[in-house]
Amino acid sequence: MSRTDTRTESLTSTGTGGVGESPLRPDGTLKVRGEFAYSSDLWHEDMLWGATLRSPHPYARIRSIDVGPALTVPGVHVVLTHEDVPGENRYGLEHADQPVLAVDVVRYQGEPVAIVAADDPETARRAAARVRVDYEVLEPVTDAEAALADGAPVLHPDHPGGNLVRQVRIRFGDPAPTAPVVVSGEYTVGMQDQAFLGPESGMAVPAEDGGIDLYVATQWLHADQRQVCLALGLAPDKVRLHLAGVGGAFGAREDLSMQVHASLLALRTGKPVKIVYGREESFFGHVHRHPAVLRYEHGATRDGELVYVQAEIILDGGAYASTTAAVTGNAATLGAGPYRVPNVHIDCTGVYTNNPPCGAMRGFGAVQACFAYESQMDKLAEALGISPVEVRVRNALEQGSVMPTGQVVDSAAPVAELLERVRDRPLPPERGGPLDLRELPGGVSNTTHGEGVVRGVGYGVGVKNVGFSEGFDDYSTARVRLEVTAGEPVASVHTAAAEVGQGLVTLQAQIARTELGVARVVILPADTSVGSAGSTSASRQSYVTGGAVRAACEAVREAVLARVPGAAGLAGAAVVSASGEVLADLVEVLGEDVVERTVEWRHRPTEALDPATGRAFAHVQYAFAAHRAVVDVDTELGLVRVVELACAQDVGRAMNPDAVVGQIQGGSVQGLGLAVMEEIQVVDGVVRNASFTDYLIPTVLDTPPMPVEVLEYADPHAPYGLRGVGEPPTLSSTPAIVAAIRAATGRALTRAPVRPEHIVDG
Amino acid sequence: MDFLRPASLAEALAAKAENPAAVPIAGGTDVMVELNFDRRRPPALLDLGRVAELARWGEENGHVRLGATVSYTRIVEELGTVLPGLAMAARTVGSPQIRNRAGVGGNLGSASPAGDAHPPLLAAGAEVELASVRGTRTVPVGEFFLGPKRSALAEDELITAVLVPRAAGPQQFAKVGTRNAMVIAVCSFGLALDTAARSVGTGIGSAGPTPLRAAEAEEFAAAALPWDEPAALDEATAREFGELVAAAARPIDDVRGSAAYRRHALAVLARRTLRWAWQDVSGGR
């Protein structure tokens, strides 16, 4: 195999299927047949394999590192430490606070200390284990609130503010409101893992110009490029990134993992170097969802109208900042939920500890807040003696409402309708008929034949921002070209946007087909030879890269139409008039010419938060989903079976209806995982379940029927009126399921995930 | 690493005698995980996949002699009537792919307290057949487990079969896990009633250093159950049985669950499985 195998081949989408249709994915057949080349499949005849030595301690001083014993292993080419980092030994998405390789201190279990290149992966791993590191083990800081106390060890002496990464204050309305009905609670959310199936992997290939070609599964090629350049001390034209096949992301590929390490080894050895993390290593190779403690107080009138929300949110960012600052901003600005609240007081704090670093994961701060405010809304309903849906509907945000940041919601916000739609669905039938263990909590493990089983129903609704917020210059770049190939007009689309499984490649082809009236669209491999597309995160790529592709198509179309008098559009491979009359065949108009345009496209600018009050036009778009969960709980054993998880979501415009439903169902299941099983257990800074044996994610037998209602209220500010889809269902699924378990058991259940012990012991 | 591929039991035993450090592998459920995680690096693997003698089962003298590599899928499909408890446990093992490859021999060989086959084998009073070039011996399954992942298997021996008495009454198996499939037991319980001998067998999984029997619970139930006039089981008997099973457990707190929860859950499982089994007795099934 050569080094440019299928991972850098173009994907071709043919036939029909424009915006609003559900054409087949161009990568779908390959993936279903097991033939798609993921980053772990990269291959080069001359390649070496890299391995990483990681700290076993959550906090320790490094007295010395002796690579000698590793170098004596036959088959080892090089062993590198921090001394071998030619550029800045620092990286990070928001703060460059993380060393490429640890220097004199390690701040979390799993922090990279040394890297090895060898002839095969086994040799590389064994050699890495022979590097002698003399650690002075220190007492780790593992409690986020203790980390902020006076006298706590300062984990990043260079960072102003001690262990505080960021605090966001939201001050809205009356600073000292009172209300006749008050409910309060403290909630905790455990550390969830993105649990993508394709572990971190990639290959760095040294180039003749002294630079490097890096093939990697990532979410944002240009953010990687910037950080790799700094660490290698190379200019951007010397560090060329190519997207390798991505096996899921969910935020876990925003931060660097093996990118710099493989590049260092490749530059030093002059050979291609491949690194693939194993499953256990993967748990240490990426950031996780921030564990959170959330203390809320809601005040309401006796009629159930919210008077105020007060909240204190603590997010444990772990050893390095990653995206903690932005997660903190999200949890704060969205912390009152999709409700009209006249008075809001929120302090949201992101903290350094010696726990595993936390950063981006689907829902990004809004997930934790949603679990707390929705739990509170249920509590409020109970205090008022009204239904959970009613209390939400009475306070539901709508278009024109004002957020606690002062931002006016300037497009559809059908929060009440979403709730009413899931509420009004028929309930799934009660259990009955002959015993089928698969329909009971515990499944074929045969723990109940119906004894102790109680059904519960719960609701949740959430709000998520779409796109990068708080004044970030959020843009994407698309290059679109139109030419005649083999007698047929063909559009090619080139962006640096990462397809991570969500279907962006399909959507790009749909947009090109709609805008240019061609059947055949080629999606070129994503790489850094075209401008940045921004990150595949924040539910933003359909909006931003979709917007860029449309804008580039429009520019190409304009150039073509200028050639034909009276031309108004392109359709059916022809130039047409305003009335749809065919004026000319597109093939003839183009002839031998290539029409190519590159467009950098931005959404409306947002604003930074006022540091004292959080006031700002902070988010470009809000997105909403609501869930109704029906569960059966074995109240004696604490086991749960989710019977049905219905969702309603407004997507503005269903660009690809099948993909939209897929995203909503996938997000719902990820929320189900957080509700009942998914948690990285960390004790004294040490991860206790770094495997899929003990970090459990839902199987198909844990996944219920998920009816989905898709609403399409166009956002006039967004391309095609679309609204980001990926994240909102991950928010409301968790509190809906936990509320259903509460309804079945009467337990308070203030923690996600709910473990059997919590149900049995209260 | 050598990969030894004997074609018969005699060859396998000779190979094991010659290479006592060789690790036998059949389905590889546990062995491959240990190799992949680099926790174990034996000088040789002894592949039992071609040893036909191990992949058979048959009935002899009121026992089922179940070859060590008979797959869980086959146990579910072929032994549901004669070994119902083991078949129920087999149904909870891993995924369909794992059940197609894995068998009881490997479960015993790993000697994990969480092995799904162990509680029904304990409850049924099974014996483990161990063979070497020196000869063949049988060990009661209750004496086979010596500690976490330690067993009575000698270094030149192979587990060739289990000898399980044919069910002489209703049997049950129940396993608590924190998801509804593909899960390692938080705790599990096996129950076997012998309506002829009027005896009760038990097996506790994942709640002690080894799989355990609850001897006091067995004696209590054997005495308290209304064998002569099998009517519905009274609540007090079921409850007391559950408490005695819970008391026999020696659980710890770990990543999968707390000791207190395990005890609680075992009491519930024991109570429920006894009721289900007794329904079959009183219902005349």
Whether the CB of A702 is below 8 Å from some CB of chain B: the reply is yes
Query: Do B74 and B27 share a domain, yes or no?
Result: yes
Residue A438 main-chain phi, psi, to 5 deg? -65, -15
Q: Would you tell me how many other CB atoms lie within 10 Å of the CB of residue B95? A: 10
Question: Which of the residues A440, A446, A449, A758 would you substitute to probe the B interface, choosing the one with the greatest number of B C-beta atoms within 10 Å?
Answer: A446
- B182 vs A contacts (CB less than 8 Å): 699
> Which residues fall within 8 angstroms of residue B228, CB to CB, at 6 or more apart?
none
A 364-423 → B contacts, CB under 8 A: none
B149 and B206 inside one domain: no
Q: Name the average pLDDT for chain B.
A: 96
What fold characterizes domain A40-138+199-246+253-285?
Answer: Aldehyde Oxidoreductase; domain 3 (3.90.1170)
> Residues of chain A with pLDDT > 90: what percent?
97
Whether residue A681 and residue B276 make contact (CB cut-off 8 A), yes or no, is: no
Tokens 């600052």 belong to A325
Q: What is the pLDDT of residues B264-279, one digit of tens each?
A: 999 999 999 999 999 9
Residues B149 and B196 in one domain: no
Give the amino acid at A624: F
Whether chain B has a CB inside 8 Å of the CB on A121: the answer is no
| Interface with A, mutate which of B30, B116, B179, B278 (most A CBs under 10 A) | B179
Q: Does residue A506 have a pLDDT over 80?
A: yes
Q: How confident is the model at residue A2 (pLDDT cuts 50, 70, 90)?
A: very low
Give pLDDT, residue A526: 97
Predicted confidence at residue B37, as pLDDT, reads: 81
The torsion angle over the Cα atoms of residues A87, A92, A96 and A100, rounded to 10 degrees, is -40
Residue A655: the pLDDT is: 98
Domain endpoint, select from B126, B141, B165: B165
Say if residue B23 is in the same domain as residue B156: yes
Looking up residue B198, the CATH number of its domain turns out to be 3.30.390.50
Strands B63-67 and B44-47: unpaired
A705 confidence band (pLDDT: 50, 70, 90): very high
Same domain, B86 and B223: no
B56 and B137 together in one domain: yes
Computed over its alpha carbons, how large is the radius of gyration of chain A?
26
> Is the Cβ–Cβ distance between A118 and A127 less than 8 Å?
yes
Number of domains in chain B: 2
Looking at residue A8, its pLDDT comes to: 62
3-state class (DSSP) for residue B104: helix
The string of DSSP codes covering B20-56 is TTPEEESS-TTHHHHHHTTS---SEEEE-TT-GGGG-
Per-residue pLDDT reduced to its tens digit, A425-461:
999 999 888 999 999 999 999 999 999 999 999 999 9
Which residue, B165, B200, B219, sits at the end of a domain? Answer: B165
Q: Do B69 and B125 sit in the same domain of this protein? A: yes
CB contact under 8 A, B180 and A278: no
What amino acid is encoded at B169 in this protein?
G
| CA pair distance A480, A549, nearest whole angstrom | 7
CATH classification at residue B115: 3.30.465.10
List phi, psi (to 5°) of A170: -110, 120
A510, A594, A742 from A16: Cα distances, Å: 8, 23, 48
Q: How far is A257 from chain B (nearest CA, A)?
A: 20
User: Token match 């893992």: residue?
Assistant: A193
Q: Quick check: B173 and B251 in contact, CB under 8 A?
A: no
Residues of chain B with C-beta less than 8 angstroms from the C-beta of A126: 38
Query: What pLDDT is stored for residue A284 in this prediction?
Result: 98
| Under 8 Å between Cβ of A6 and A36 | yes
- How far apart CA B256 and CA B245 sit, in angstroms, is 20
Could you tell me if A434 and A440 are in contact, meaning their C-beta atoms sit under 8 angstroms apart? Answer: no
* A478 token code pair: 């698309």
Nearest to A538 by CA among A287, A710, A410, A363: A363
The residue among A579, A606, A618, A119 whose CA lies nearest residue A329 is: A618
Q: pLDDT tens digits, residue range A177-193?
A: 999 999 999 999 999 99
Task: Check whether residue B13 and residue B117 sit in a common domain.
Answer: yes
CATH architecture observed for domain A292-469+609-761: 2-Layer Sandwich (3.30)
What ipTM did this prediction achieve?
Answer: 0.96
The Cα of A478 is separated from the nearest Cα of chain B by a number of Å equal to: 43
Which of residues A5 and A215 earns the better pLDDT score?
A: A215
* Beta strand pairing call for B187-194 and B171-176: antiparallel
Kindly state whether residues B112 and B14 are assigned to the same domain.
yes
Please write the tens of the pLDDT for every residue from A727-737.
999 999 999 99
> Least CA distance to A689: which residue of chain B?
B255
**pLDDT greater than 50 at residue A1:** no
Domain check: are B128 and B206 in the same one?
no
Of A280, A447, A688, the CB nearest to B174: A447
Reported as a single tens digit per residue, the pLDDT across B213-244 is 999 999 999 999 999 988 889 999 999 999 99
The pLDDT score that the predictor gives to residue A102 is 98
Does position A4 have pLDDT exceeding 80, yes or no? Answer: no
Residue A762 pLDDT: 61
> Contact, A491 vs A519, CB < 8 A?
no
Domain ranges in chain A are 6-37+475-602, 40-138+199-246+253-285, 292-469+609-761
Range of the domain at B239: 171-282
Rounded to whole angstroms, the Cα distance separating A419 from A338 reads 11
pLDDT tens digits along A379-414: 999 999 999 999 999 999 999 999 999 999 999 999
| C-alpha span between B211 and B89 (Å, rounded) | 14
Say yes or no: domain A6-37+475-602 is CATH 3.30.365.10. yes
B68 within 8 A of B159, measured Cβ to Cβ: yes
Looking at the fold, whether B76 and B185 belong to one and the same domain comes out as: no
State whether residue B216 is helix, strand or coil.
helix
* Pick from B38, B175, B179: CB nearest A696: B179
Q: Would you say the CATH fold of A292-469+609-761 matches that of A6-37+475-602?
A: yes
Question: Per-residue pLDDT tens for A510-553?
Answer: 999 999 999 999 999 999 999 999 999 999 999 999 999 999 99
Mean per-residue pLDDT of chain A: 97
Is residue A162 within 8 Å of residue A152, measured between CB atoms? yes
Output B107 or A3, whichever has higher pLDDT: B107
Q: Does A683 touch chain B (CB under 8 A)?
A: no
Residue of A nearest to B35 (CA): A122
Amino acid at B30: D
Name which of B173, B182, B261 is nearest A699 (Cβ-Cβ). Answer: B182
CB contact under 8 A, B176 and A445: yes
Give the mean pLDDT of A301-310.
98
pLDDT tier for residue A10 given thresholds of 50, 70 and 90: confident
Q: Are residues B261 and B124 in the same domain?
A: no
Q: Do B272 and A447 touch (CB under 8 A)?
A: yes
Q: CB–CB of A681 and B255 under 8 A?
A: yes
Instruction: Write the residue in A693, A702, A760 that is nearest to B180 by C-beta.
Output: A702
Q: Is the pLDDT of residue A629 over 60?
A: yes
Q: Are A7 and A39 in contact (CB under 8 A)?
A: yes
* B176/A442 CB distance under 8 A: yes
User: Where among B115, B131, B165 does a domain terminate?
Assistant: B165
Total Cβ atoms within 10 A of residue A749? 18
Q: B124 and B193 in contact (C-beta within 8 Å)?
A: no
Residues A34, A39, A40, A44: is their CA dihedral positive or negative? positive
- Could you give the percent of chain A with pLDDT greater than 70? 99
Q: Are B118 and B203 contacting, i.e. CB atoms less than 8 angstroms apart?
A: yes
Q: Does B239 touch chain A (CB under 8 A)?
A: no
Residues A741-751: tens digit of each pLDDT: 999 999 999 99
The pair phi, psi for residue A131, each rounded to 5°, is -65, 130
Across the range B157-164, mean pLDDT stands at 98
